[in-house]
């Protein structure tokens, strides 16, 4: 424990001064004796302790997650005034607010930072950051002390005016976005970018677990998880300020539902009394932010100073200060006058689910970043004569069904994704077996007439017309498309060739399979991946093996269905390919 010096009390102002008689003289003498004795005792104490705070202070740099900053700053102020010592030198705790992801990425180099990420003590909002550092930067000095300064569970948050009344339990499966691309959702689920937010990352972890438990089939799980991630991407907020703004501006048609910490709900309500929100506690448990006390130095003096400060932040007075800011203590307790029942907060702590492991953190972050990276896709659609055949039970041709499915798949792409469109058969354009219908451009780009590229692509798909006498020059088109994507490769995007066909290769005198594979082998580069994804449909597809070999060689996938109406579902499976690859460890 540090040494505490006494303070002298001043005479209260406004007290009437009386003329001193004998009693006054005795009082003055007694006061003088107290001062003399006090000085003597202090002198002995100082002599026994050496120089006391006479030397230079030990400056303890403490980086803390911003929401915990105000409380910890007050605690540090009292701590510094009490003059705690190590080796007769005063310890001064200097608290500054630091974004948890910023510090973590400053240590690992795995993401962008704003600088100033060094500190002696680090108190992030969650242990996920220290685990991430330990898994990605093994040489980093990260000493976990086992101390959690405060806790706050993740809750579902909705504007009070839009919240549904009822006693039905809400689970994390209820939170998983289920609307198909292009469909209007009953409510928009928003998270803070999981790449920089532990609440966002915790949400992915909880949704991943709920889906995994409810969907044992791997392919179905990958497809549903991909759809959920895509939906979350559309509503993700860059930071908490943006999340608060989204929550305060929700419309009655699609009120936003945010996943955030209980304490964040309290802070939001403090700043948005005119659009207050309320928490919804999920019945199947939740993940907690735990604010761990982490030491980042091996210097003996600093580590001992950090231990002295750690003792101070665990006192009852310190805990009360944390509770006053809307946190819970290590036992789940709260200040009922802060997290009030009237505002929807529950006194009983919700059930706690296990925190994500280092592997889960890395995996989920990779999933998110992979889908976050915009796609660059060259879509090629078969217009051979067989596309005129009617799909039984629909009254539509294969071309019409494929066009509708392609238009639906178009909705899966963000505005900043790049798409292009080719058609192919035989002798499509002056002896060529393929031709460009729309160049590869950002979907939000506009042409000279002011038309958005998304609309141009959509209209072009609907206007595709099969060639009645056309055959299927599949292999030559694969090669030409791969050459084009290699020539125009974008390393900041996911470059993909997407082929839709209703038949096997049928082009007498054209490129043979072995020739195609040889040509592809000369073009394929591990550092410039261009997966070929093929969706083959209809009864005319007799040989899937060649398409699978092409997919394997390029890191893509080949799907086949006899029912063209299933193309939409296959689109979703195709986009889950990246998640499936990561699950396989590739």
Residues 499 and 415 reside in one and the same domain? yes
Backbone angles phi, psi at 139, to 5 degrees: -85, -10
What is the overall mean pLDDT for the chain?
82
344 part of a folded domain: no
Alpha-helix residue ranges (DSSP H) falling in 411-506:
453-462, 474-487
Same domain, 284 and 175: yes
Q: Residue 527 — pLDDT band, cuts 50, 70, 90?
A: confident
Q: Is the pLDDT of residue 293 over 70?
A: yes
Which residues make beta-bridge pairs with 96?
A: 63
36 has a pLDDT exceeding 70:
no
pLDDT surpasses 70 at 484? yes
Per-residue pLDDT for 328 more than 70? yes
**Same domain for 74 and 178:** no
> What's the domain count of the chain?
3
Which secondary structure element, helix H or strand E, spans residue 513, and what is its range?
Answer: helix 513-523
pLDDT digits (tens, 9 = 90+) for 382-431: 999 989 988 888 888 889 988 888 887 787 777 888 999 999 999 898 88
CATH number at residue 567: 3.40.50.410
Which segment of 25-34, 52-61, 509-518, 551-560 scores lowest on mean pLDDT? Answer: 25-34
Task: Tell whether 534 is covered by a domain.
Answer: yes
Q: CB under 8 Å to 382, separation ≥6 — which residues?
A: 402, 423, 424, 425, 472, 499, 500, 501, 502, 503
Residue 586, pLDDT above cutoff 60: no
78 and 133 assigned to the same domain = yes
Contact, 414 vs 576, CB < 8 A? no
Domain residue limits at 495: 374-583
Asked whether the predicted pLDDT for residue 164 surpasses 80, the reply is no
Verify that 173 and 284 share a domain, yes or no: yes
Query: Where does residue 88 rank: exposed (0-12), middle (13-18), buried (19+ CB within 10 A)?
Result: middle
For residues 161 and 71, state if they share a domain.
Answer: no
- Work out the average pLDDT over 220-240: 80
Mean pLDDT of 429-454: 93
Q: Give residue 231's pLDDT.
A: 79
Q: Beta strand 277-280 with 152-159: parallel, antiparallel or unpaired?
A: antiparallel
Give residue for tokens 């100082």. Answer: 46
For residue 257 the two structure tokens come to: 């539902």
Strand partners, 89: 86
Q: Is residue 348 part of a domain?
A: no
Question: Same domain for 84 and 186?
Answer: no
pLDDT at position 157 is 93
189 lies in some domain: yes
Q: What's residue 410's pLDDT?
A: 81
Indicate the pTM of the whole model: 0.66
User: Which of 42-51, 279-288, 337-346, 447-456 has the least mean pLDDT?
Assistant: 42-51
Question: Quick one: three-class SS letters along 433-447?
Answer: EEEEEEEEEECCCEC
* Inside any domain, residue 23: no
Task: Evaluate if residue 347 carries a pLDDT over 60.
Answer: yes
Q: Are 272 and 179 in contact (CB under 8 A)?
A: no
Categorize the per-residue pLDDT at 114 as very low, low, confident or very high, splitting at 50, 70 and 90. low
Top pLDDT among 239 and 51 is at: 239
pLDDT number for residue 112:
60
315 in a domain, yes or no? Answer: yes
């Amino acid at each position: 424990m540090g040494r505490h010096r006494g303070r002298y009390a001043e005479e209260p102002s406004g007290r009437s001064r009386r003329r001193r008689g004998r009693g006054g003289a005795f009082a003055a003498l007694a006061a003088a004796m107290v001062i003399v004795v006090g000085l003597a005792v202090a002198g002995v104490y100082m002599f026994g302790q050496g120089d006391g705070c006479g030397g230079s202070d030990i400056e303890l740099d403490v980086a803390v997650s911003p929401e915990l900053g105000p409380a910890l700053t007050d605690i540090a102020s009292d701590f510094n005034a009490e003059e705690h010592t190590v080796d007769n030198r005063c310890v001064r705790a200097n608290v500054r607010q630091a974004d948890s992801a910023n510090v973590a990425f400053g240590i690992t180099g795995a993401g962008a930072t704003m600088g100033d990420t060094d500190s002696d003590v680090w108190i992030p909002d969650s242990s996920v950051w220290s685990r991430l550092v330990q898994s990605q930067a093994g040489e980093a000095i990260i000493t976990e002390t086992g101390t959690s300064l405060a806790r706050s569970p993740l809750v579902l948050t909705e504007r009070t005016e839009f919240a549904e009344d009822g006693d039905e339990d809400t689970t994390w499966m209820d939170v998983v976005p289920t609307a198909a691309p292009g469909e209007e959702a009953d409510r928009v689920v928003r998270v803070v970018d999981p790449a920089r937010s532990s609440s966002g990352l915790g949400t992915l972890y909880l949704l991943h677990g709920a889906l995994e438990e409810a969907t044992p089939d791997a392919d179905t799980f990958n497809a549903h998880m991909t759809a959920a991630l895509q939906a979350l991407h559309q509503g993700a907020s860059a930071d908490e300020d943006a999340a608060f703004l989204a929550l305060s501006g929700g419309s009655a048609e699609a009120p936003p539902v945010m996943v955030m910490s209980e304490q964040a709900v309290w802070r939001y309500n403090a700043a948005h009394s005119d659009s207050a929100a309320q928490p919804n506690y999920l019945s199947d448990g939740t993940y907690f932010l735990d604010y761990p006390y982490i030491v980042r130095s091996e210097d003996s003096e600093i580590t001992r100073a950090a231990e002295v400060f750690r003792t101070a932040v665990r006192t009852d007075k310190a805990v009360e200060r944390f509770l006053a800011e809307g946190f819970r203590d290590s036992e789940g307790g709260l200040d009922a006058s802060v997290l009030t029942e009237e505002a929807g907060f529950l006194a009983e702590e919700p059930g706690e689910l296990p925190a994500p492991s280092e592997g889960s953190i890395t995996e989920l972050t990779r999933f998110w970043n992979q889908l976050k990276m915009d796609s660059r896709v060259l879509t090629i659609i078969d217009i051979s004569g067989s596309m005129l055949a009617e799909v039984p039970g629909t009254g539509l041709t294969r071309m019409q069904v494929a066009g509708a499915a392609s238009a639906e798949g178009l909705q899966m792409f963000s505005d900043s994704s790049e798409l292009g469109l080719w058609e192919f058969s035989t002798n499509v354009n002056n002896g060529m077996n393929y031709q460009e219908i729309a160049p590869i451009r950002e979907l939000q780009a506009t042409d000279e007439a002011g038309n958005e590229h998304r609309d141009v692509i959509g209209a072009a798909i609907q206007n595709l017309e099969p060639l009645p006498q056309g055959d299927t020059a599949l292999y030559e088109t694969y090669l030409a498309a791969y050459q084009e994507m290699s020539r125009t490769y974008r390393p900041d995007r996911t470059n993909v060739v997407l082929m839709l066909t209703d038949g096997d290769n049928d082009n007498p005198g054209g490129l043979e399979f072995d020739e195609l594979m040889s040509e592809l082998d000369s073009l394929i580069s591990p550092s410039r991946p261009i997966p070929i994804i093929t969706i083959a449909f209809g009864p005319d597809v007799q040989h899937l093996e060649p398409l699978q070999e092409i997919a394997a060689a390029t890191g893509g996938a080949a799907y086949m269905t006899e029912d063209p109406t299933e193309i939409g579902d296959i689109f979703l499976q195709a986009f889950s390919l990246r998640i499936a690859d990561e699950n396989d460890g590739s």
